[in-house]
Amino acid sequence: MTDFLKLDSGKIEIQWNKKREKDSPTLIFLHEGLGCTGMWKDFPETVSKNTGCPSLIFSRFGYGSSDPCPVPWKINFMHKEALRVLPDIIKKTQINNYILVGHSDGGSIGIIFAGSPYAKGLKGLITLAAHVFCEQITKDCIQQAKINYKLGNLKKALEKYHGKNTDNAFWGWNNAWLNPKFINWNIEKYLDRIKVPMLAIQGKKDQYGTIKQIKSINAHVKHAETNVIAGLKHSPHLEQPQKILNIITGFIRRIDVL
């Protein structure tokens, strides 16, 4: 059920799945650059049912029904989310033990957080199509998204989920990634500091990034489990939900936190 959480910087939209239990870690889902709570579909709920873990899903500022986040966004907007907003959410919801599940930008936010001093209570990190540095292929796809938003059906499709926040969500994300300085964006140093179990998944046909992304994760996080899945693109959990569910469920059971 959708609810709202008051943070120091405003109000965000949240959803809980499954009753919170004392001994189970909470799965915290971090959405992609154009996502929100609703765009995860029923995937978080299904993961909760399969693992027995409660899950928290939220829309970042500027997305879904959360308070707006004024544009332009700085190129360090993911650092802000990881080092300011996410710690505030964890504190306000009184979550002590948790696993982060991040898609695309959400995966990058999870990596920054996991490699920071704020990661107390973190039991594991799961990323889907995360970026650890900027590639030209990513900027090219985001440039095409700009065209689709102006001339195609993308704006209408996003309005279903973001309502009054649609322009805020799109232009905040799009202009930040298309900033000429963003080509130098890189979060690999945070990978070196990740101590918790990590699972990284990427589709082999990911249109927003090459397998250099997951190879970098492998190189910097020696203990990480990585999966490059043939035939899948940028949203593996929506393209083959059962396959990704099985991989994630197995990982959570293997890290022995349940």
Question: For 139-164, how does the pLDDT look when each residue is reduced to its tens digit (9 = 90+)?
Answer: 999 999 999 999 999 999 999 999 99
The reported pLDDT for the residue numbered 22 is 60
Residue 33 predicted with pLDDT over 80 = yes
Query: Length of the chain in residues, anyone?
Result: 258
The reported pLDDT for the residue numbered 21 is 62
Q: Residue 219 — pLDDT band, cuts 50, 70, 90?
A: very high
Question: What is the chain's mean pLDDT, rounded?
Answer: 96
Pairing of strands 55-58, 10-17: antiparallel
In whole angstroms, give the CA distance from residue 114 to residue 109: 9
Residue 258 predicted with pLDDT over 60 = no
Q: Which fold has domain 2-254?
A: Rossmann fold (3.40.50)
Residue 255 predicted with pLDDT over 60 = yes
Residue 3 predicted with pLDDT over 90 = yes
HEC readout, 33-95: CCCCHHHHCCHHHHHHHHHCCCEEEECCCCCCCCCCCCCCCCCCHHHHHHHHHHHHHHHHCCC
Residue 23 predicted with pLDDT over 80 = no
Q: Residue 212 — pLDDT band, cuts 50, 70, 90?
A: very high
Question: For 95-113, how does the pLDDT look when each residue is reduced to its tens digit (9 = 90+)?
Answer: 999 999 999 999 999 999 9
Q: Residue 202 — pLDDT band, cuts 50, 70, 90?
A: very high
The reported pLDDT for the residue numbered 215 is 97
Residue 240 predicted with pLDDT over 50 = yes
In whole angstroms, give the CA distance from residue 194 to residue 106: 16
The reported pLDDT for the residue numbered 39 is 98
